Amino acid sequence: MKTIIKNRTLIGEVLLSLLLVSALIWSILIQTKTLVIILLSIFFFLLTISIVYKHKNSVYEEKKPTVKLAFDMGAIFISGLVVYLFENYLNISYLIMVPVIGLIGSLLFISFENALYLGSFLGMTSIDIGYFFIVLTLASLAYFFFEDAYSGFGGKLGSSAFFFGLIIAFFIKGGTVVNYNDVEIYLVVIAAVIATLLTTVIQRTYNLSTVLVSAFISLVGAVFLFIPKFDYGVLIASAILGASFVGMTLKEHLHIFLVFAAALLFAFLFVFIPFNGIGGRLGFTAFLSVMIVMGVKNSFSFAQKKK
């Protein structure tokens, strides 16, 4: 037990790494378009480089569990339940509730903003309430491992939420693939780039909380839901929400040009990665985008060292 506690961050990063690898392999296997399969396979190679480089160059310090961790777990459970109930029983979209929870956390409960934001992603799922409670409980407890794993990487919180949702989906065949037309793809790219860059520039310029900026940008994006006779409101708001997670990446990991590259990659993965309807999918897509771009960055760093 002491060994588990001592290495909980390492265990969390290993679990998230396995999530990235397995979900990307799953995505490749169900694809029918040759070009997409080739691109996803290249991304898999870059992702592997990123994961290996991260673990090789990381020093994991022991961080003992605190009372706050228990409250964080409770915050995850509560915020996840709130978003799920509002989405599925009151018909108030998670595209509104998730940023609202994020703003409440970052303005009123700063110590618990990450946990509250993470929990809200869990509530985005469309699975039956019985399975949802299983996912919510497991994800809340698993925060013990995920608390400091991949710190500063955009989308990491959403991926933590996505972890158990994907496992449940594997057994109950949850999550779907959406086919987008050309107009929708262009809108996703535009929304993703703008949302990512706005989140990054505002956060880095004014040194604000990443949760606060992401939630604010996402809530502004939710305005598209209320435009009369506009069929793309949900799509654009979803792209903005997910892309804002890419923009949460700290500057010590990616400079602005690479953040832009991650935004474009997010748009591609948003269109071609399945798992629609699983809580945390947007965060996972953002995290995967950041990690793949990190793989490119690490490849260049390794090549320069060899010269």
Tokens representing 67 are: 């009372």
Average pLDDT, integer, range 276-298: 88
Tokens representing 290 are: 């950041």
User: Which tens digits make up the pLDDT trace of 140-160?
Assistant: 999 999 888 898 888 888 888
> What's the rounded Cα separation, in Å, for the pair 267 and 249?
16
Per-residue pLDDT for 174 more than 60?
Answer: no
Residues composing the chain: 307
For the chain, the three-class secondary structure string (H helix, E strand, C coil) is CHHHHHCHHHHHHHHHHHHHHHHHHHHHHHCCCHHHHHHHHHHHHHHHHHHHHHHHCCCCCCCCCCHHHHHHHHHHHHHHHHHHHHHHHCCCCHHHHHHHHHHHHHHHCHHHHHHHHHHHHHCCCCCCHHHHHHHHHHHHHHHHHHCCCCCCCCCHHHHHHHHHHHHHHHHHCCCECCCCCHHHHHHHHHHHHHHHHHHHHHHHHHCCCHHHHHHHHHHHHHHHHHCCCCCCHHHHHHHHHHHHHHCCCCCCCCCHHHHHHHHHHHHHHHHHCCCECCCCHHHHHHHHHHHHHHHHHHHHHHHHHHC
pLDDT value at position 171?
Answer: 63
The pTM for the full model equals 0.92
Please say whether the beta carbons of 285 and 242 come within 8 A: yes
> What's the rounded Cα separation, in Å, for the pair 61 and 268?
36
Which sign, positive or negative, has the C-alpha torsion 135, 293, 149, 120? negative
Q: Which phi and psi (to 5°) does residue 285 adopt? A: -60, -40
Per-residue pLDDT for 139 more than 80?
Answer: yes
pLDDT value at position 82?
Answer: 97
- Which of 68-72, 174-178, 278-282, 294-298: highest mean pLDDT? 68-72
Rg (CA), the chain: 18
pLDDT value at position 303?
Answer: 64
pLDDT value at position 218?
Answer: 98
Per-residue pLDDT for 65 more than 90?
Answer: no
Tokens representing 80 are: 């996840």
- Name which of 58-67, 104-113, 137-146 the model is least confident about: 58-67
Per-residue pLDDT for 306 more than 70?
Answer: no
Tokens representing 255 are: 């400079």
> What's the rounded Cα separation, in Å, for the pair 261 and 257?
6
User: Which tens digits make up the pLDDT trace of 205-214?
Assistant: 999 999 999 9
